[in-house]
Amino acid sequence: MTKFVVHRVLLFAVVGMVGYGMSRPPEQESVWLWCIWLACIPAGYLAFAEIPLRLQVNAVQRSLQALTVIMGLGFGMLSLELLRQQVVWSQYLADSVAVNAETGETSSNVRHVMAANRVHRGSMRDRDGTIIVDSVVAPDGRTARTYPVEIPAAFAPIVGFVNPRYGVSGIEATYADYLSGSRNPLGHVFRMFRDDAVRGDDVILTIDAGLQQAVYQLLGNRVGSVVVLNPRTGAVLAMASAPSFDPRTLTPDINADRATDQARLDTAWQRLLQSDANQPLLNRALQGRYPPGSTFKIVTAAAALEHAGVAQPDDITCPETFQSEPGAPPVVNAVPNLAAQTGNPASMRSIVAFSCNTAFAQYALRLGTSRFVASAERFGFVTPQKQRAAVTLTDLQTVSSLLFVDEGFLEKPAAIADTGFGQGQLLVTPLQMALVAATVANDGVLMQPYLVERVVNQQNAPLYSHITRPVRRAVSSLNAVRLRDAMRYAVTDGFGTAAQYQNSISVAGKSGTAENPTGIPHAWFIAYAPADNPRYAVAVMLEYGGEGSNAGATLAGQVLAAAAQTIDP
């Protein structure tokens, strides 16, 4: 009886390990390999114990039987691997898109694109119905994308491109099954018996085409990105990344000679990959990671307000320097004699407005690692071990925003002090910082960001509609009011006055100047407007842009003014 129970337990262990490993996505290949190799141990034992071995006459025959069992296990492992790759995760692998973090180059299944050459892909439209991307059909049945907008490059990081050699990217990739019409299973059958172009479904985006182009033009020749959100819903109203590229240069010309046109496409592709092109294929708003500088102080301030008993947010000083740990470099304020402006002791409102580094370093140390990390995670920041739980834009590939890189980093007092005022090992995306501003503006509730509002077929019947989803409450309603008051004070009296662009719309915000190894800081500014009834939240990030209170604040104010004029004239 004991032998029977042991064997059944081992059998369940084998099935459990194989099932768990099989359920892991392809990115967790190492987990799958560990599971299948570990499962071989009890499986081998069961094979020798359960399979009748009648020919135990001599050592040679016993060895042959053992070899048969080992070969059987090997073939079983190979069969399970093929089952996982070819059946369980086949569609996932076929549709996956990889982005090279260094160049922004995308890699995808070119077979999909080649098969879609004769598919009349659906259009992409903005929130008001303006067509951003459409298709044309040649007499021979081939199709190509067109971009009936004034500045196609403004939309390229979002909509992506379709090329039979270089693949597909952006929304073209993530919504390929809708755009190509393959979402309908009958479409696969009909396509086998007809030569005319199959019409795909149309994707309606949340962005405003006019605002998108205006934001891209405001960025100009600078390197960076801008994200504009609706704080109440999480809808992306604009998302610009510069430098960008003209998707028409990667679109085949169906009226040109194929060999000549392919040479043109190859030249355009190689030009985009050159080092001096500055990664135009990279969507910096979603795939760029940077230290956030003082914009992260809003997160630290929220944590201090939420844990007021230990952080004592209104009992704080702003000394010239602060020694966080014996032997560590002291925390220094960016502006001398800052206490004259913040007061001594200072209030939360004044240290946010005048961006006192030493005060926020004290907050972080008072909070301690566990409270500090937990509060930051509520805004969507994660530790490296929890990247799968990060709040991302599921419509496009997005990297997570990290609180640190090295395991155990925040266990050091100097490290948590540096992180408290926006340095340390923080690496964040512009989207994440836009979410911080949007969360404060939305009474402390973090909303799931999204780019696709709905998908409709050719009869305008909805096939997919986004459902607005709150992720969680990041900060209490009462404390969100205090943060909004501090951010408004930062613009009216503090270091963010440049964001109040021509008094067109009341702005609340926070500047950030992020140190980086080159010596020239990145300029940040996060904001929302109108201050008393927020409808837009924005994050501006300019690589090597200098002081956030200057270039960053000015651009944020211009973007918010453009949003008010374009969306709510």
Hey, which residues are catalytic here?
294
* Cα 285–Cα 405–Cα 289 angle in degrees, nearest 5: 10
Q: Would you state the structure tokens that stand for residue 356, as one six-digit string?
A: 């006192």
Burial of 548 (0-12, 13-18, 19+ CB in 10 A): buried
* Cα 455–Cα 460–Cα 463 angle in degrees, nearest 5: 35
* Cα 293–Cα 297–Cα 303 angle in degrees, nearest 5: 145
Q: Would you state the structure tokens that stand for residue 224, as one six-digit string?
A: 């960076």
Which region holds residue 96: left if phi is over 0, alpha if psi is between -120 and 50, else beta? beta
Longest dimension (CA), the chain: 97
DSSP of 392-424: --TTS--PPPBS-SSTTGGGSHHHHHHHHTT-T
Residue whose C-alpha is closest to residue 261's, from 167, 195, 163: 163
DSSP of 159-215: H--EETTTEE-THHHHTHHHHTTTTSHHHHHHHTS--SPEE--EEEESS-HHHHHHH
* Continuous H helices in 84-108: 90-95
Q: Would you state the structure tokens that stand for residue 378, as one six-digit string?
A: 């509520």
